[in-house]
């Protein structure tokens, strides 16, 4: 997370958190206001109820700090660590009103990010050290893209492009709209800076040949079976060893190693960020009032 904070994302993240808190709090926490004295304080323990990879501790810390700067957030682990049921992730101490105000948002974010990191780690483990990079896609939750892509990195994966602005990816509809792969690549090359790469999505050997002839920097093999993929990789590496080969489409834990063995350089998996099981994480209070145990 630190690289994004340093890159100016801190202000944008804080603005999002303010909006998410406002959505949850509205005009006020009716239940807490009605049942708990204003001066009540507590230490809260955040713990995990199933095994996985933890992600989002710095985000949870920021949520609580924005709710109440006097709250003290004490992480017990670091993002990326493997956890088991019952492990304590962090402790937070201070006003019970503030703790309960920030609880749900902090847990929601940690549960989702930990789920993504856990699924990503499962794919990384399935690859077993093969020389291939596992990456995400743009199939992310609106408003959560940078956080979800951060969770992929925590899980041991890497990031594909972040949006429509940072790389050229010519997909099937671009090919149809421009009249062909060659036309699309030539038009893109004339518009973009020399520092930007061009990726072309292909579904057949014929399209692979056209992408090679057009001078594409990255060729994606989309929804190809293993036999066809091996042929495509062999052809690309023989003709242009510098071209990066990416496999995508319907990749699962059961098929990812087979795909990697075809010789591709990158495997992109949309399901890392849109189809995952959120980790079960809870917060429990150990409350005090006026220095006495409740």
CATH number of this structure's domain 2-118+277-293: 3.90.1170.20
- Which residues have a catalytic role annotated? 104, 139, 171, 201, 222
Which spans in the chain are helix H? 2-4, 10-25, 30-35, 57-67, 96-127, 145-154, 172-178, 181-191, 205-214, 226-239, 256-260, 271-274
Sequence ranges of the domains in the chain: 2-118+277-293, 125-274
Q: Which residues of the chain have pLDDT under 70?
A: 1-8, 287-294
pLDDT given for residue 102 in this prediction? 97
CATH number of this structure's domain 125-274: 3.20.20.70
pTM of the model: 0.94
pLDDT given for residue 288 in this prediction? 61
């Amino acid at each position: 997370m630190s690289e994004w904070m340093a890159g100016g994302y801190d202000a944008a993240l804080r603005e999002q958190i303010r909006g998410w808190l406002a959505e949850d709090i509205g005009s006020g926490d009716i239940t807490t206001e009605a049942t708990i004295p204003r001066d009540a304080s507590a230490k809260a323990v955040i713990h995990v109820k199933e095994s996985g990879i933890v992600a989002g501790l710095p985000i949870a810390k920021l949520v609580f700090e924005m709710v109440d700067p006097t709250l003290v957030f004490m992480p017990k682990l670091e993002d990326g660590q493997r956890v088991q049921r019952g492990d304590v992730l962090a402790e937070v101490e201070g006003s019970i009103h503030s703790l309960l105000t920030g609880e749900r948002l902090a847990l929601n974010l940690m549960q989702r990010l930990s789920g993504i990191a856990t699924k990503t780690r499962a794919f990384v483990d399935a690859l077993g050290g093969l020389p291939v990079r596992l990456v995400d896609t743009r199939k992310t939750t609106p408003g959560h893209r940078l956080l979800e892509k951060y969770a992929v990195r925590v899980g041991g994966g890497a990031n594909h492009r972040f949006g429509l602005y940072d790389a050229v990816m010519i997909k099937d509809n671009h090919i149809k709209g421009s009249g062909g792969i060659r036309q699309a690549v030539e038009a893109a090359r004339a518009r973009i800076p020399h520092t930007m790469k061009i990726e072309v999505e292909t579904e057949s050997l014929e399209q692979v040949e056209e992408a090679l002839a057009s001078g594409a920097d990255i060729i994606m093999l989309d929804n190809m079976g293993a036999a066809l993929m091996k042929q495509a990789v062999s052809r690309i590496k023989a003709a242009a060893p510098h071209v990066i080969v990416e496999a995508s489409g319907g990749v699962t834990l059961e098929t990812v190693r087979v795909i990697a063995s075809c010789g591709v350089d990158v495997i992109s998996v949309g399901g890392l960020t849109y189809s995952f099981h959120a980790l079960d994480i809870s917060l429990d209070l150990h409350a005090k009032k006026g220095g006495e145990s409740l």
